[in-house]
Amino acid sequence: MTIKDIARLCGVSVSTVSRVINDRPDVSPAVRAAVLETVRSCNYIPNNSARVLVRSNSDAVGLVVRGVSNPFYSDIIKVIGREIDAAGYTMVMQQINSSADEIGTGAIMEREKKLRGIVFLGGRSDYTAEELRPITVPFVCCSYDNSFGVLPRDRLSSVSIDDGQTAYRAVSELCALGHRRIAALVAGTDDRSISELRYHGYLRALKDHGIEPEEALVACAGSFSMEDAYRATRLLASGGAEFTAMFIIADAMAIAAIKALEDTGREVPRDCSVIAVDGLALSQYTRPTLTTMCQPSERMGEESVRILLDMIEGRAGNRSLVLEPLLRSGGSVAPPRRARD
């Protein structure tokens, strides 16, 4: 099976297959899906004989970053790079967008770059054993786990926070101040990602505080980008929905949402409180500063590499670690106006 066979099977050119394998932007989604499906079903192993290296000689550890514009990842990438390097390995990184297939990318990288192991930074939370079959080296899911999957615990390693519980705590903070009409900004409610997990934590917190969730108060951005977050919040705010607070699944999205709220005449926190999840350094310098649940990003990166190296070097098997987030109080949360008047 060569790249030419894949091209022939898909009815596309070799260069198109190459562009898909290299995650280039200039391929239509339909063609991309067809090529990746064929790559998977044929168990195709990209291979350039001029560059092939013997596996045992490789010191490469892969980092697949899913969600290229997520500033939360920048800090973790730095830590992961530092730790991989300090252990004498070489980090090989590939960044893909947040709707791309990280497992397919990892499988191709594993073979092309002769990886010893892989850190997935961001990904879906519903892998099946079948899907994971192409990955034959140890791997760790960093910043997410397999909450929606049905894998045995010893089949996957992860380092994450409890996303549902973290959202639950954030929304409970708002409830404790007297907020009852609490909107949510998510990437998706059923995307099998941390967005869906945090959305469920939001719903659970509302219910536990005797608040009936309303669909009209949930804004779906469709992605984690600031641009989409701004647009979705603007739509929500200008649609006449009444709310005194927002729970937002990510800091960067919250910064864009605050601008949308203020552009539509709501001042934060006077007219609307905002609480988020992530804890970017940057969020301490925005106006207002962000009240947010901080993920321990430094430790998350360190532990991910530690678990991976333990597996690569045969010291331990798969394990999952759940870290505790920490509430950082900023200036974006206040009691609702009625409660203050």
Q: Which is nearer to its own copies, 156 or 255 (CB)?
A: 255
**Site for its own copies, rule CB under 8 A:** 19, 22-25, 48, 51-53, 57-60, 68-69, 71, 74-75, 77-78, 81-82, 85-86, 88, 90-95, 112-113, 226, 230, 252, 255-256, 258-259, 262, 281-282, 284-287, 289
Q: Taking the complex as a whole, how short is the minimal distance between the CB of residue 255 and its own copies, in angstroms?
A: 5
Closest to its own copies by CB, 72 or 168: 72
Locate 11 and state its tokens: 């009815």
Minimum distance from residue 138 beta carbon to its own copies (Å): 18
3-class DSSP assignment, residue 137: coil
Classify burial at 72, counting beta carbons within 10 Å of its beta carbon; exposed 0-12, middle 13-18, buried 19 or more. buried
Closer Cβ to its own copies, 95 or 158, answer by number: 95
CA 19 – CA 147 distance, rounded (Å): 32
Contact 289, 331 (CB under 8 A): yes
Region label for 314, one of left (φ > 0), alpha (ψ between -120 and 50) or beta (otherwise):
left
Measured from the CB of residue 206, what is the shortest distance to its own copies in angstroms?
27
Shortest Å, Cβ 113 to its own copies: 6
Q: Which is nearer to its own copies, 208 or 313 (CB)?
A: 313
For its own copies, the closer CB: 202 or 230:
230
CB of 46 to its own copies, least distance (A): 10
Nearer to its own copies, 40 or 113 (CB): 113
Q: What residues contact 282, with CB distance under 8 A and at least 6 apart? A: 71, 251, 255
Contacts of 21 (CB under 8 A, 6+ apart): 3, 35, 39, 46, 108
Q: How far is the CB of 65 from its own copies (least distance, A)?
A: 9
| Residues 6 or more apart whose Cβ sits within 8 Å of residue 77 | 63, 65, 93, 121, 301
Q: Decide whether 103 or 280 has the Cβ nearer to its own copies.
A: 280
C-alpha 19/C-alpha 6 separation (Å) is 13
- Closest approach, Cβ 56 to its own copies, in A, equals 9
Order the strands of the 291-294 sheet from edge to edge: 218-220, 182-186, 245-248, 273-278, 291-294, 326-328
